[in-house]
Amino acid sequence: MSGPNLAVEIMQNMPSASVIASESEPLRHAVQSALHSAFFRVFGSDDVTGVELGGALKNIYAIAMGMASAYNVGENTKALILTRALAEMSRFGVAYGANPLTFLGLSGVGDLYATCNSPLSRNYRIGNMLGKGTNLDTAIKKLGQTAEGVNTIAQVHDKAKQIGIYMPITHALHSVIFDGQAPLGVALHLMEVGFRSDVEFVMPHDVSNEALEDSLNDDTEDK
């Protein structure tokens, strides 16, 4: 079960929704019936992997957005982060057997939006502190709660490298948090390379662009 479910807002009876994923239709209906209320709606999905990954991966990009907010970025930049984050999430999900369309739902773009745009988000707050120069250990102590996105960055960075998934935002965050690179320099590098299509899984695979992109990345790593 996952979705844009900031606990404080649910407790305040602000209209919210979530998605329950199971291969069992009777189970989905049972959960929907049990949790439905005037202020809380539950949708169904049979893509367990996609819903699970949406709930985990979005924490990576909440850290990125919190970090970006420390630099007072504009709305264009926020929209750029959100849409490219969604592309990374869907690429990673498909590699592990998820349906890419799941990431257009509540557990994908819904949870991503809520987590990336609210100071109620633990991962957003961690990213914001890191962007302002606070070291990771101090930021975690100040938060006083678990920011699961930090560990998720480490895990997804390694998995993506192992099986060859293009996830530049995740790799950039790993460089900042675990390798001590300057956030602004890493962010500027992200703007310099890349020739991908705008929407994942829509355009045919462009070998020439992919090869050019890989070449640019290899050149940068060599430097």
- Catalytic site positions: 58
SS3 string, 58-119, reads HHHHHHHHHHHHCCCCCHHHHHHHHHHHHHHHHHHHHHCCCCHHHHHCHHHHHHHHHHHCCC
In the chain, the N- to C-terminal Cα span, in Å, equals 44
d(CA 35, CA 103): 22
Identify whether the C-beta of residue 35 lies closer than 8 Å to the C-beta of residue 42.
yes
Beta strands in the chain (DSSP E): 16-21, 40-45
d(CA 43, CA 32): 7
Q: What's the Rg (C-alpha) of the chain?
A: 18
Identify whether the C-beta of residue 92 lies closer than 8 Å to the C-beta of residue 165.
yes
By the 10 Å C-beta count (0-12 exposed, 13-18 middle, 19+ buried), 1 is classed as: middle
- Dihedral, CA atoms, 7, 10, 15, 19, nearest 10 degrees? 60
